[in-house]
Amino acid sequence: MPKFQYVAMDSRGKEQKGTLEVASQADAINRLKEMGYFPTKVIEAEKPKEKKDAKKGSAPSGSGGGGKKKGVNFNIKIPGLGGGVKTKVLTTFTRQLATLVDAGLPLLRGLRVLQKQEKNVTLRNTIDDLSLSIEGGSTFSEGLAQHPKIFNRLFVNMVKAGELGGVLEVVLNRLAEFMEKAEKIKGKVVAAMFYPSAVMTVAVAILGLLMVVVVPKFKQIFADLLGDGKMPAFTDFVLSISNTIKDRTILVGEAAPMGLPVFPGPVIWGIVGVVIAFKLGVKTKKGRWLWDKAKLHLPVVGSVISKVAVSRFCRTLGTLVSSGVPILQALNIVRETAGNVVVANAVQSVHESVKEGETITAPLEKSGVFPPMVISMVDVGEQTGALPEMLLKIADTYDDEVDNAVAAMTSLLEPIMIVFLAVIVGSIVIALFLPLISLIDQLGGSGEGAGGD
């Protein structure tokens, strides 16, 4: 009899792993359900013999093909799962499926309809696999759990709660709204930062061209015009910066055809070293915590990141609890999807507090991440029994604050960039004109002397 390795969650949301010796994967899933577990992964420990096992353990309704489909469902590898489905595509799929189910269409038929019109190859193949899973006797949430790279734990657990409560279409609509609002906030931040980033990139490229190509040519011209005359101090300063950038910072060495530098300079190597050290440091537990904490306290940007984190926490927890997911399991999911180690640690403290029968408010206050207003509203929600509604109201409020903060940040960056570029470009222009003014003064002095003679 084959052995099956499983990964499942218990009633408290804790992950459990082990091995079962049963006839088929379907039997393994049934056994896990009897044990009170929610299976997220079931695979055969040895080389699969799906066809033989499916025939031996087939259901009495002549479902030899059905057993085969279940075997395929657990062992097939969908190509391109790693990031092959964008959030926008997944949101559209969720919204359309909710509409079809709400209209009275059976879930399996709705999946087949969406499969035919889906253009994304990865999602289309995944929908086909979900359909096979349901045809084989699995629930929709069990099928979703087999594709963790596309459907995260939040998605799977909300669908499971919807199935148990008989409100799958309601939960799917909530999921679609959740993803739409999250994508909307992300889109606004990205769009707001695109203009400043584009302007700064073009500005740095132009300044680099001026300092590496244009200014050095003027140095030779000034040397020929002034001869032994002294170069103005400010012009000499700008020329020395240009030489440093040209010969030390970006590239060093001379190329044959155009005299352009060809070897990476020490500053480039220094920047590369800093980037590599940063990436390696962030991968460590301590480094990630320090970086995530620093992000929450960055000037200007830190307030936006903090508001986004609070909004994400409140919306995720409120959506899960309102959909019927147990609070401890919901907190585990929120911790995994927090996106910030500092916030995740705070959620872990909340989980431990609730597990001991205490309130959510105390650990939130101790974390120092959540503002007093959020803590007060959560406290009121706990006392009145309207915690999910209160969390969603907080999320809506902070979404509006993120919009205002992003708009204020953008309006602040634009004049700063304009002044910065004006000062830099103006300084270069003045530095290049000073020798000409000195030359004109010398010529004027020479002309007056000649006239006096």
- Segment-wise mean pLDDT, segments of 10 residues, the chain, 453 residues: 76 73 76 74 60 40 38 35 69 88 86 88 90 86 87 83 79 84 79 80 84 80 71 83 72 46 61 86 86 84 84 85 83 82 87 84 82 88 86 88 81 82 86 80 60 53
Burial label, 235 (beta-carbon count in 10 A; 0-12, 13-18, 19+): buried
pLDDT at 406: 80
pLDDT at 191: 79
- SS3 (DSSP) at 251: strand
pLDDT at 373: 87
Listed residue (117, 77, 73) closest to 93, CA to CA:
117
Listed residue (160, 158, 108) closest to 134, CA to CA:
108
Q: How does strand 38-44 pair with strand 263-264?
A: unpaired
User: Between the CA atoms of 338, 353, 328 and 402, what dihedral angle is there, to the nearest 10 degrees?
Assistant: -30
All CATH 1.20.81.30 domain ranges of the chain, comma separated, are 215-439
Sign of CA dihedral 50, 55, 60, 61: positive
pLDDT at 71: 38
pLDDT at 229: 64
Sign of CA dihedral 30, 32, 37, 40: negative
Residue 373 sits at the vertex; the CA angle it makes with 368 and 376, to the nearest 5 degrees, is: 95
How far does Cα 178 stand from its chain's mean position?
A: 15
Q: Name every residue whose Cβ is closer than 8 Å to that of residue 429 and which is 6 or more positions away in sequence.
A: none
How far does Cα 434 stand from its chain's mean position?
A: 50
**Whether CATH 1.10.10.200 fits 215-439:** no
Q: If you compute the radius of gyration of the chain from its CA atoms, what whole number of angstroms results? A: 32
pLDDT at 261: 47
pLDDT at 164: 75
Q: How does strand 15-21 pair with strand 3-9?
A: antiparallel
Q: Name every residue whose Cβ is closer than 8 Å to that of residue 381 and which is 6 or more positions away in sequence.
A: 387, 388, 389, 390, 391
pLDDT at 46: 53
pLDDT at 296: 84
